[in-house]
Amino acid sequence: MNTEEKSSWTRYGRQMAIPEFGREGQEKLSRGSALVVGAGGLGSPLLYYLAAAGLGRLGIVDGDRVEASNLHRQILYQSADVGRLKAEVAAERLRALNPELEVDAYPFHLNSRNALDILAPYEVVADGSDNFPTRYLVNDACLLSGKPDVYGAVFRFEGQLSVFNGLDATGRRGPNYRDLHPEPPAAGTVPNCAEAGVLGVLPGIIGSMQAAEVIKLITGIGTPLIGRLFLLDASDFRSHSIRLPRRQGTSVSRLIDYERWCGIRGIPSKPPAEARQWAAAADAQWLDGRQPSERAETSLASAHIPLGELTTRVSELDPDRPLLVFCRSGQRSAAAVQQLLDEHDFREVYNLEGGLLAWKRAGFPLQESAC
Amino acid sequence: MKLQITAFGIAKDILGTARLQIELPEAATVAHLKEALERQFPQLAELKSLAVAVNQEYAPENQPLASSDEIVLIPPVSGG
């Protein structure tokens, strides 16, 4: 045994002692890689066990920050981490646990534009996300890149687990999320953890099972949960292992706008003529979100808050009064509309579609609105 | 025939119970079961892709049911 082998044995000896695992299994793990989408309740044990087991490279995608309400189940984080980016804290903890590990932190959300690039370097993907658009995105990105999607989801005392798009014994790709649920549920009909609640230990159980599946896929040991959906109700410990066939016609040719597809985030917007009519009828406030330097040219009479300052200056607006937001082309203001609706509970907000450029093209005067 | 149904996730809330008995004509299929449930519990229809497993196997809509079948309703779950 050389020095490297000795230190490997010291650290991983208890799993290398498993006859099917051995030195070969450990070597496969150390050369293996996985991307974990969502470093929350499922992602915490998943990442922790994969790092501890000696996986060579781990990617962490999560754009959220740690909140106090996460701490009962997201065991990667401690009270002092509240407010910090999860991906960064997680990377720190995992490096401290296992310095041999290569960790890539992606402290932003996976989306249709970045998903394929982010997935590319990893052998296996694990889905620990907490919303339907991301689950369909991860599934479809795995289909397009030919990677297995180790899926887990939790609800109160229940959990689900499967390996989607895995290579089965005959060398064919197994069923995927779209074979189980071809269509997403209508927006708002299935509550998430925040709305429905979840027992803290449930993602601990399911996330650990996901880690086991990742290890099995990478080492080739055992039979991964391909073509089967495992259901657990921990309240009475009833479980089912459902056989899942491939359907016809679930192939995917490109990534789409998953939020729109799931009926979420259709950003409310109105083209100039409609916006003009609506704003007058609703007695709406107008908000110019451009930078001061952009305003020199022209503007509509309106409140003016550069959108970068929106979070700190939002109190200058009345959340109960209808609001029309605009910028030069309507892109930045679209994001602001989403932010006002999601984070600041504005009652009725619209984006001026196409922004001031479209307004001017439509031939409307620049001095008519009132703030 | 009488069918025994086990519900998971939000389907448990909508049915108001984890285990439900429902009466259907002989030779009813999975589609008939879904229609009957959706008539009684209209919110189920909004789940769109409610999966049904019969005897531990994902069941297509045209699958006939028998009173001895073990039927499980699997709604979408997103939590993580």
On whether any CB of chain B is under 8 Å from the CB of A244, the answer is yes
Q: Which residue of B has its CA nearest to A190?
A: B10
**Residues within 8 A of B (CB atoms), A 158-177 only:** 158, 160
**A131–B49 CB contact, under 8 Å:** no
Best of A160, A181, A193, A244 to disrupt the B interface by mutation (most B CBs within 10 Å)?
A181
Q: How far is CA A367 from the centre of its chain?
A: 42
Per-residue model confidence (pLDDT) at position A62: 95
pLDDT at site A370: 43
Please give, rounded to a whole number of angstroms, the shortest distance from the CA of B25 to a CA of chain A: 26
Distance between A216 CA and the closest CA of chain B, angstroms:
22
Sequential pLDDT tens for chain A (371 residues): 677 778 888 999 999 999 999 999 999 999 999 999 999 999 999 999 999 999 999 999 998 889 899 999 999 999 999 999 999 999 999 999 999 999 999 999 899 999 999 999 999 999 999 999 999 999 999 999 999 999 999 999 999 999 999 998 889 999 999 999 998 988 778 877 777 889 999 999 999 999 999 999 999 999 999 999 999 999 999 999 999 999 876 679 999 888 878 876 667 888 899 899 888 888 899 999 888 877 766 667 788 898 888 888 999 999 888 899 998 888 788 878 888 887 787 888 999 988 888 888 888 887 654 44
Minimal C-alpha gap between B1 and chain A (Å): 24
Give pLDDT, residue A149.
98
**Residue A118 in contact with partner chain B when CB distance is under 8 A:** no
- 10 Å CB burial of residue A65 (0-12, 13-18, 19+) is middle
State the DSSP code for A247: P
- State the first-to-last Cα distance of chain B, in angstroms, to the nearest integer: 39
* Closest residue on chain B to A158 (Cα): B9
| Cβ count within 10 A of residue A338 | 16
Angle between helices A22-31 and A201-219 (to 10 degrees): 100
Give the list of residues 6+ apart from residue A198 with CB closer than 8 angstroms, or none: A41, A73, A154, A155, A156, B79
Q: Hey, are the CB atoms on A180 and B43 less than 8 Å from each other?
A: no
pLDDT of residue A265: 60
Nearest-angstrom CA–CA distance, A192 and A130: 7
- Which residue in chain B is spatially nearest to A152 when comparing CA positions? B80
Backbone φ and ψ for A4, nearest 5 degrees, come out as -65, -45
Ordered domains of chain B (ranges, CATH): 2-74 (3.10.20.30)
Q: State residue B20's pLDDT score.
A: 96
- How much is the pLDDT for A119? 98
Nearest to A242 among B47, B56, B77 (CB): B56
Per-residue confidence (pLDDT) for residue A188, from 0 to 100: 75
Give the per-residue pLDDT at A264. Answer: 66
Q: What digits encode the pLDDT tens for the residues B13-55?
A: 999 999 999 999 999 999 999 999 999 999 999 888 899 999 9
**Contact residues, chain B to chain A, C-beta under 8 Å:** 6, 8-10, 18, 43, 46-49, 51, 53, 56-58, 72, 74-80
Does the beta carbon of A155 lie under 8 angstroms from any beta carbon of chain B? yes
- Best mutation target, A74, A183, A189, to test chain B (most B CBs within 10 A): A189
Nearest by CB to residue A242, choosing from B46, B48, B57, is B57
Residue A63 burial (CB count, 10 A): 15
Query: How many CB pairs lie under 8 A apart between chains A and B?
Result: 103
